[in-house]
Structure 1
C-alpha cells in the first residue's frame, strides 16, 4: 500500500511539474521546480568559481544509512522523485547532486572527466559529513558511480547500477567526432528532436507523463544562453566517448547490483551509426549478462518490456527490486 501511495504521489507531482514548466527554461533550470529544497556547494576549478546543486533529503525515521543518486546525461535530480520517496520511507538519507554541467549546477566550460566529477562528489559528501554511501547510478551516472567506486572504495558500501552506459567501448565502433562537431549537432536541439530521441532510445512505448522529461530537456534550447549549454553537452559527450570504464569492472571490490531493462538499446553516438551497426551494439539483454560476469559477485536483475529508465517505465518493479537489494 505504501508503495502505491508513493507512486500515486509521484504521478501527481510529475503532472504538476509538466504543467508548471514555462516554454523557455534557463540553462541552470532556475524556473524548474525540484521535488525538494536545493542547496549549492561552491567549487573553485580552472580559475572559475562555480557551484554544484544538490538535494539532501532526510527521512522521518533514520536508519543511519545514506544513498547518493547519480543522474544520467540528459537529466538532473528532478527525475528521481519516486526513488527518493521510496528510500526515505525506508529510513535512508538521500543525497541527489546535479553534476557540474547538468541540472541546476553551473554550466562550466572546463575539461570534463569522470575523475574530476567523482572528486566533486567526494567533496560534497565530506562537506555534508557523510563517510559511507550506497551509490545508485543511472545511465551516465552509472559510469560516474563506477569511477567513484574505483577511486574511493572505502567510501562505498554498495554499488547499484541502473542501465549504465559504457558497458562497451564506444570508441571501437562509433566514428570519432570532436567536441566542436558535437557542439554543432547540439545547437540543432528542438522539442521534436528530443522527443524523437527519447521515444526511440529510452522507452518501449511512450506515455503522456514522459512529456515533462522532453519539456525540460528541450526547454533550454530557447534560452539566449543555450550555446553555452550546447558546448557543455558536447564536452560531456566527449568525456563519455573518451573515458571508458568497461575495462575496469573486474577491479571493483564492493557488492554490486546491476539493474537493466531488457529492451534497452542505448548507444552513445547512435546517430552516427548505420542501421546494421545499430543492431550489433547497445543490446542490454546481451550486455547485462556479459557485464555481470566481469564484476566479481555481481547480481543481475533484468526487467522485461522495459527500456533505459526502469525507475520511470516500470516503477513498481524497480522500486521493489531496489528495496530487496539495497
Structure 2
C-alpha cells in the first residue's frame, strides 16, 4: 500500500511539472503520436510548441562568435525573503521539470531563476561544441542581466557539473550549492574509451522512443510510474519531426562529449562554497557505462558512496543519502529532499 501511495505522489508531481504540455496534447486538432494515429505538429528544436509552467524570457548571448539566446524563467515569491535560488537542470530534461521545486522555494520566500543552458530546452542549439566554461559564463551573465549579485544554486545531474564549475570560477557569486544527484563525481575517462562524435550521433539517431523509455527507467527513474515518464520522452522525440532535428542531435551529442572530456571531480575538493550533496541511495547513473569494458562497468556509478567520500575533502562539504530514491531524487523523495534543501539554504 505504501508503494502505491508513493507512486501516486510521484505521478502527481510530474503532472505538475508538465501540466501545460499535457493540456496542449488535448487541444482539438492536435493528434497523438501513438501507432496508427497521425502525429502532432513537431516541436521546434528550441522546444517551440512545448509549454513551460511559467513565462519564458530570452537573453541574447554570444558564444565563440555565434549569436545565441538563453531561455530562462524568473519567478517571484509571494512574500520575498531577499534571497535568490537558481535551479540548474540535467542533460535529459527540460528545465520545466523543476516545477515542484519552484513551488516549494517560492512558497518559502525565494525568488527562483531557472535557465535552460545553451544547447538545451528552449535555448539556442549552437553549431559548435559545448563547454562547461561557456555554460558557467553564460549563467553568470544571466545573473548580471537580472541584477543579482549572489545566489544559491540547486543543481541536478549534469547541472551539478555546471554548478561546480560556477562555484570554482565565481565563488563570490554563490552562497550555497546543493548538488542533487549530480553526475561527474568520477572521471569517466578512467573507464570509457573515447568515442567519435559521428559514431555517437549515428547511435543516438537510431534510438527509439521505447528504447529511450527503457534508458530512463533503468538509469534515472525506476520508481516513477511509466505513464508519468511519457512527457519526458515526448519532449525529446517530438523534435525528430523538425527539419532542424540534425542540428539538435549534434548539440545533444556534444553535451555528452562535454561530460566525458571535461571532468569536474578533481575540482570538487578545492571548492570553498558551502556544499550539500543530496543523493539517492539507488542512483547508479554513469554516463558512458555501456561503452566501458565489461569488467569495469560495475565499478562505475556508485554515486552515493562517491559523494560521501568527496564531502570530507571539501572545506565546507556534507552529504546526505536518501534511501529508496534514485537519480531523480527530488521527485523520488520530495518531502525528505525539500526538508534537507530548505534547512541547508537557511544556514
TM band (smaller chain): over 0.9
- Partner Cα distance (2:193, 2:135) in 1: 25
Q: Tell me, what secondary structure is at the counterpart of 2:85?
A: strand
Contact 2:17 2:98 in 1 (8 A): no
| Structure 2 Cα separation of the partners of residues 217 and 241 of structure 1 | 22
Structure 1: 4+ residue segments shifted above 4 A: 7-10
| Aligned with residue 18 of structure 1, among 12, 18, 22 | 22
Q: Whose Rg is larger?
A: 2
Q: Kindly state the Cα deviation for residue 217 of structure 1 after the two structures are TM-superposed.
A: 2.5
Find out whether 1:90 has 2:94 as its counterpart: no
Partner of residue 228 from structure 1, selected from 222, 247, 270: 247
Task: Quote how far apart the aligned CAs of 1:40 are.
Answer: 0.1
1:256 to 246, 263, 275: 275
Deviations 1:25-52 (A, max 9, x none): 2211111110100000001223322100
Q: TM-score, normalised by structure 1?
A: 0.93
Structure 2 counterpart of 1:168, from 162, 186, 189: 186
- For 1:302, the equivalent position in structure 2 comes to 321
Q: 1:98-177 alignment to 2 at 5 Å?
A: 98-177=116-195
Question: Is residue 2:301 matched to residue 1:282?
Answer: yes
Quote the Cα distance in structure 1 between the aligned partners of 2:19 and 2:130.
34
TM-score (ref. length: structure 2): 0.88
- How many residue pairs match? The answer is 322
Q: What is the deviation of 1:16?
A: 5.2
Q: Which runs of 5+ in 2 are unaligned?
A: 1-8, 26-31, 34-41
Unaligned runs of 5+ in 1: none
Offset from partner CA, 1:84-129 (integer Å, 9 cap, x none): 0000001100000000000000011123111111001111100000
SS of the residue 1:200 aligns to: helix
Q: Which moved more, 1:271-280 or 1:28-37?
A: 271-280
The aligned counterpart of 1:213 is 232
Of 292, 297, 309, the residue aligned with 2:311 is 292
The root-mean-square deviation of aligned C-alpha atoms, in Å, is 2.0
User: Given the superposition, is the C-alpha separation of residues 276 and 20 from structure 1 closer, same or farther in structure 2, using an over 3 Å criterion?
Assistant: farther
Task: Summarize the Cα distance change of 1:294–1:105 in structure 2 as closer, same or farther, 3 Å threshold.
Answer: same
Q: Judge which range, 206-215 or 52-61, deviates more.
A: 206-215
Shifted more, 141-150 versus 304-313: the winner is: 304-313
Residue 291 of structure 2 corresponds to 272
1:249 to 1:279, Cα distance in 2 relative to 1, 3 A? same
